Structure 1
Amino acid sequence: MCCPIQKDIDITFNLFTRNNPKLPQQLVIDDILSIRNSYLDPSNPTVFYVHGFTERAMGLSARTEKNFAKKYQTGNVNMIVVDWGSLCSFPYYAAAVKNTRLVGKYLARFLKFLHNSRVIPIDDVHLIGFSLGAEVAGFTGKALGKNVLPRITGLDPAFPLYIFQGDVGHLTKTDAKFVDVIHTDGGVFGFPNPIGHVDFYPNGGVALQPGCRLSQLSRRDIFFLLQIVACSHNRAWAYYAESVNNEYAFPSYSCSSFDNFMKNECNNSFVEPAFMGYVAHPKHHGKHYLLTNDRPPFGLKFV
């Protein structure tokens, strides 16, 4: 964080499709040739993925991106991974928080470029963000103004340093027509409050998520203490990644609290479940709860 920010270098847009599922093509803002010479197919839905703190485009949470591979094979999705790794590197968390606004505005500018160039309408874009990436997504939605995104998915949106920012300072349900949020580490690394149209709380939405046992964490890793918490935080993208190829693996139920859910007061056979993840639907609102397995497949309805 010692050097001036160069947005065209520090923020890149990396395209994956059925024609290039492993090696991305870089799309350049205001460069229509980089778009026309790429495998971007305007007839297909477009998903943008924004990674979290300390990551790169091909980092840990890129499993979410990789799980679109089966969908690449049918040719029905453009996956664009936003790489802003040099602006969210360890240990500069406070600087990374500040940079989420900058990255969000730059992504909004790129989306407007695609829209105004008649390449990808904003109405065809689904924006997904993990941790700080979810906050980037929120600022993107805010910066687009009247060009409202159809959907933002927040995967355990970052909580530290956002707690007192108010709705203008973090992801909220006003940032897109439909905002669905998965909470897995509420009150630590992730936002505990409901901030979307529908908020999913697997296993209560807090640490430790099933399978995040201290005995399984490597004490040889210098980030041992961070791993303890990050395991639950990372479950958000792991659950979502699984839902991409197994859309109905995570049925959830609307309930006033996790305690009431565990008392079977909400998940009866007469109540229609809301599916968490890729096929989350705008008709569902409020807080929804569910349980998961402690290892892959995490979904109790894995098919």
Structure 2
Amino acid sequence: MLGGQKLSETVECVDPIPSDVDFLLYTRDNTADPVVLDPANPLKLDSNKRLIVIIHGWVQGTRGYGMQEVKDAYLFRYDANVVIVNWGRLAFDLYNRAVCKLPKVAKIVTDFLCLLGQRSDINLEAVHLVGHSLGGQMSGFIGQFSKLVCKQTIGQITALDPAGPLYHNAPINRRLDETDANFVSVMHTNGGILGYVSKCGHVDFFVNCGTLQPGCVIPKIDLNYLVNINLLSVGCPHFRAMDLMVEAVRTNDFQGVPCDGCPLICPPIASFFKAKTIMGETTPKTARGGQFVVTNFKSPYAIKLQMGIGA
């Protein structure tokens, strides 16, 4: 499935076609059994409801780690239209090839969103993209393409530990960046390993300093070779972002403090007694810069501190 391709090697990839990507609609009326939307002729959606689009990462799919839980959390909180983008047939490949295909998959998703917006009278500024790993990077491409294809800007991107390998030194037009949506919020949990290490949003939350997570035991891996690995066994901190997002959507309990030095220098725990920024669904759109968040080692992850929280 994954083969022995060295990560630094350049690869070619076959252009995906629209039928390679599924768009699965969930609402409170069908929380478990999705409606499969036709990308060429999507259903008209209720424009009064939020439209949340969730995108999985490498070697994942609709039933990948945390995907259903994030969807359920949103439907618990909102009477919304939640669409899961299933590009699993393309994601189960060499990492290099998945990266190669990512902008092309993003173009398919963008075309779908443009048409869906036209049919349902939904401005893309009302759309919220939530992407994990390569799904976070794909969200950035969708944001770029929407300006060209739809002449509209995506309203919000929440990137959950966006993928790092092959993106760390990429120019901003080849990776997630704060210009990709009106508001880009990023959660870093495995930066420098499977996740992107540096700031790339309007606000970047470095959870437990952004690289390793309490409660995760990580075997040693060579990032030059992503070969036949069990991603869940080595990616505990990477997937922790999904667990945190589920809890963050259901609660407002994650709190951060400004951290200009993150991820290299993180503040002491005492600084949390002046925390001001909520991490999650209610992160204020005015939030900027690096934020340091500390968590428990198991669920519930949020540490509830008695302090004033600014909006």
Give the shorter-chain TM-score range. 0.7 to 0.9
Q: In 2 relative to 1, CA 127–4 (structure 1 residues): closer, same or farther, beyond 3 Å?
A: same
The aligned residue for residue 294 of structure 2 is 291
Q: In 2 relative to 1, CA 210–41 (structure 1 residues): closer, same or farther, beyond 3 Å?
A: same
The TM-score normalised by the length of structure 2 is: 0.84
| C-alpha distance after superposition, 1:165-199 (max 9, x if no partner) | 21011000000010000000010100010000000
* Match status 1:44 vs 2:49: yes
| Amino acid paired to 2:282 | V
| Amino acid paired to 2:246 | A
| Number of residue pairs aligned between Structure 1 and Structure 2 | 281
**Seq. identity, %:** 32
The aligned residue for residue 162 of structure 1 is 167
Structure 2 Cα separation of the partners of residues 105 and 30 of structure 1:
14
Structure 1 Cα separation of the partners of residues 276 and 155 of structure 2:
22
Structure 2 Cα separation of the partners of residues 183 and 23 of structure 1:
31
* Match status 1:28 vs 2:38: yes
* Match status 1:143 vs 2:145: yes
| Amino acid paired to 1:203 | N
Q: How far does residue 71 in structure 1 lie from its aligned partner after superposition?
A: 3.0
* Match status 1:196 vs 2:201: yes
Q: In 2 relative to 1, CA 186–144 (structure 1 residues): closer, same or farther, beyond 3 Å?
A: same
Q: State which of 107, 110, 128 in structure 2 corresponds to 1:108.
A: 110
Q: State which of 201, 208, 214 in structure 2 corresponds to 1:210.
A: 214
* Match status 1:244 vs 2:249: yes
CA RMSD for the aligned pairs? 2.2
3-state DSSP of counterpart to 2:82: strand
Q: In 2 relative to 1, CA 301–268 (structure 1 residues): closer, same or farther, beyond 3 Å?
A: closer
Structure 2 Cα separation of the partners of residues 288 and 260 of structure 1:
9
Q: How does 1:88-127 map to 2 (within 5 A)?
A: 88-90=91-93, 92-127=94-129
Q: Is the 8 A contact 2:168 2:197 kept in 1?
A: no
Structure 1 Cα separation of the partners of residues 174 and 299 of structure 2:
35
Q: Is the 8 A contact 2:26 2:35 kept in 1?
A: yes
Q: In 2 relative to 1, CA 119–227 (structure 1 residues): closer, same or farther, beyond 3 Å?
A: same
Structure 2 Cα separation of the partners of residues 157 and 250 of structure 1:
19
Structure 1 residues not aligned, in runs of 5+: 216-221
Structure 2 Cα separation of the partners of residues 112 and 52 of structure 1:
22
| C-alpha distance after superposition, 1:53-86 (max 9, x if no partner) | 11111211212112224235xxx21100000001
Structure 2 Cα separation of the partners of residues 113 and 251 of structure 1:
38
The TM-score normalised by the length of structure 1 is: 0.86
Structure 2 residues not aligned, in runs of 5+: 2-11, 220-227, 306-311
Identify the structure with bigger relative contact order (alpha carbons < 8 Å, sequence gap 6+).
2
Structure 1 Cα separation of the partners of residues 40 and 123 of structure 2:
16
